[in-house]
Amino acid sequence: MTTPVQPAVLLPAEAARWQDYVSLLKPRVMSLVVFTALTGMVCTGRPMNPILAAVAILCIAAGAGGSAALNMAYDADIDALMRRTRHRAVPAGRVQAADALALGIVLSLFSVGIMGLAVNWLAAGLLAFTIFFYAVVYTLWLKRRTPQNIVIGGLAGALPPVVGWAAASGHAPLDAWLLVAIVFFWTPPHFWALSLYTTGDYAQAGVPMMPVVRGAASTRWQILAYSLVLAPLGVAPAFAGLGGPIYLGVSAIGGLALVVLAVRLALSHAGDPAPPLPAGRREGLYDVRLAARPARDVFAASLLYLFALFAALLVEHTPLFASLGLAAPLGLGR
Amino acid sequence: MSDPNDETEAAARARRGRNLLLAIALFAFVAIIFVITIVKLGGNVPAH
């Protein structure tokens, strides 16, 4: 039996630098995971030993990095086919897939073990489930099989707030799951907007993203549907007693702006097959044709929206802010 | 197995960087375990 090998893997590779191993951990995704987990921790309002809080954040970061390395090890074949990912360390041949796998396993085991021993086992269990869901359910099972890959798999990216909450309090109440729900419903419009202007890459790699399978028009309307669910859900923490007036303002204005941009996208032709470029002109990786700009705007706005929501919660729950008396929850749910 | 003496200067530099990262990670791990132990023991030792 022969195994197809991607050409990129066969190229003579330069020696791996330490930065290549760091890149396996997807530092930018890790920073978003740490940010939402930190918000979950702070929202509990419970004092936590600062050293153990730092250890919990480190474990969450290491768990996110470990699951990213596992993803990179398994997906090297399709990463080699996409312009956005072909220069990653494994498909470029600088790091062996087995090394990435080993790094992912070690980081995952150590992050869960230390979280359990140093913080609590509820947080460790939720962290283990998050890693398992990303590395096994999303990467191994869903990603190559269904256009719902990022919808279901998005749960892995949505769980860090509840991991942080459990680390700080030892509990996982409904408030924490409300934050999870916000990230969960945010994921499809965010990633589908991106995939609307990178459809060709996904199609070439055989990844069944929604625009590849159902077409651009269906994807645009589904982005609008998810945005219509996300906007009121984003406001909900203000009425659950989790967010104060600043959160209410940010989530209401941000949600409205996102829905307006999603309507504009639904009515656009973003993602539809574009006419060929003039002879001699090549399209860059992040070049966005005029027709696809509404998709790019939803992608950028959704990122800003999520950041603003969690930043507002974080700010309102800092002791300094609370001492100014500006963070009084609206309290309808408490 | 290739002879390490055949390494180019860039490969040797990359190897030193990897070794340094590994050393830092190992020392950080030991330091973390030490600090966690101190924090978890703190206040509980006198109880025994």
CB contact under 8 A, B11 and A17: no
What is d(CA A239, CA A180) in angstroms, rounded to the nearest whole number?
16
Tell me: pLDDT of B47 over 90: no
Residue A331 pLDDT greater than 60, yes or no: no
Q: Which of A18, A49, A118 is closest, CB to CB, to B21?
A: A18
pLDDT at B4: 58
d(C-alpha A149, C-alpha A189), whole Å: 13
> Confidence band (pLDDT; 50, 70, 90) for A292?
confident
Q: Which residues of A touch B14 (CB under 8 A)?
A: 14-18
Mean pLDDT of A41-63: 95
Considering only CB atoms, A49 lies closest to which of B14, B20, B39, namely: B39
**What contacts 24+ positions apart, CB below 8 Å, involve B12-17?**
B14/A14, B14/A15, B14/A16, B14/A17, B14/A18, B15/A15, B17/A17, B17/A18, B17/A19
Determine the residue among A51, A94, A110, A114 to mutate to test chain B binding: the one whose Cβ has the most chain B Cβ atoms within 10 Å: A51
| A108-136: pLDDT as tens digits | 999 999 999 999 999 999 999 999 999 99
Cα distance between residue A156 and residue A11, in whole Å: 34
A122-144 burial, b at 16+ Cβ within 10 Å, e below that, comes to bbbbbbbbbbbbbbebbbeebbb
Burial group, residue A282, by CB count within 10 angstroms (0-12, 13-18, 19+): exposed
How does DSSP assign A241-259, residue by residue? TSS-HHHHHHHHHHHHHHH
Residues 6+ apart with CB under 8 A from A48: A41, A56, A167, A168
CB contact under 8 A, A52 and B11: no
Task: Give contacts of A52 with chain B, Cβ < 8 Å.
Answer: 36, 39
Name the more confident of A163 and A333: A163
Looking at A32-36, A79-83, A280-284, B24-28, which range is the least confident one? A280-284
What is the C-alpha to C-alpha distance for residues A113 and A107, in angstroms, rounded to an integer? 10
pLDDT given at position A100:
97
Q: Which helix or strand (DSSP H or E) is residue A14 part of?
A: none
Contact A16, B16 (CB under 8 A): no
* Structure confidence at residue A199 as a pLDDT band (50, 70, 90): confident
As a whole number, mean pLDDT of residues B23-42 equals 94
User: Which of A59-63, A67-71, A82-86 is predicted with the least confidence, judged by mean pLDDT?
Assistant: A82-86
Nearest CA in chain A to B42: A49
Most A CBs within 10 Å, among B9, B33, B36, to test the A interface:
B36
Predicted pLDDT at A174: 96
Q: pLDDT at position A144, please?
A: 95
Categorize the per-residue pLDDT at A3 as very low, low, confident or very high, splitting at 50, 70 and 90. very low
**What are the angstrom distances between the C-alpha of B13 and each of A176, A240, B5, B9, B18?**
46, 55, 13, 6, 9
pLDDT at A6 over 90: no
Model pLDDT, residue A307: 97
Higher pLDDT, A274 or A248: A248
Cβ–Cβ contact A334 with B under 8 A: no
Question: Angle CA(A34)–CA(A35)–CA(A39) in degrees, nearest 5?
Answer: 110
Q: What dihedral angle (degrees, nearest 10) is formed by the CA atoms of A128, A134, A139, A143?
A: 150
Question: Does A25 score more than 60 pLDDT?
Answer: yes
A164: tokens are 């942080």
Please enumerate in sequence order all residues whose Cβ is within 8 A of that of B16, keeping only pairs 6 or more positions apart, or say none: none
Average pLDDT over every residue of A274-289 = 63
Distance from CA of B8 to the nearest CA of A (A): 10
DSSP per-residue letters across A255-284: HHHHHHHHHHHHTS-TTSPPPPPPTT----
Confidence of residue A286 (pLDDT cuts 50, 70, 90): low
The residues near A187 (Cβ < 8 Å, ≥ 6 apart) are A150, A151, A154, A157, A158
Question: CB–CB of B32 and A55 under 8 A?
Answer: yes
Burial class (CB in 10 A: 0-12, 13-18, 19+), A223: buried
Chain A residue numbers touching B43 (CB-CB < 8 A): none
The verdict on ipTM greater than 0.85 is no
What is the share, in percent, of chain B residues with pLDDT greater than 70?
77
Closest CA to A197 of A96, A269, A128, A124: A269
- Contacting residues of B for A114, CB less than 8 Å apart: 32-33, 36
DSSP A94: S
Using CA coordinates, name the residue in chain B closest to A16.
Answer: B14
The answer to whether residue A17 neighbours chain B at the CB level (below 8 Å) is: yes
Give the model's pLDDT for residue A197. Answer: 84
The beta-carbon neighbor of A15 closest among B11, B33, B35 is B11
Distance CA A51, CA A43 (A): 18
* Chain B residues lying within 8 Å of A55, measured CB to CB: 32, 35-36
Residue A207: per-residue pLDDT = 92
A191-195, A221-225, A289-293, A294-298: range with lowest mean pLDDT: A289-293
Compute the mean pLDDT over every residue in chain A, rounded to the nearest whole number: 90
Q: What is the pLDDT of residue A1?
A: 42
Q: Closest Cα of chain B to A17: distance in Å?
A: 5
Mean pLDDT of A229-258: 96
Contacts with B, A 25-54, CB within 8 Å: 49, 51-52
A282 within 8 A of A83, measured Cβ to Cβ: no
Q: Is the pLDDT of residue B29 over 80?
A: yes
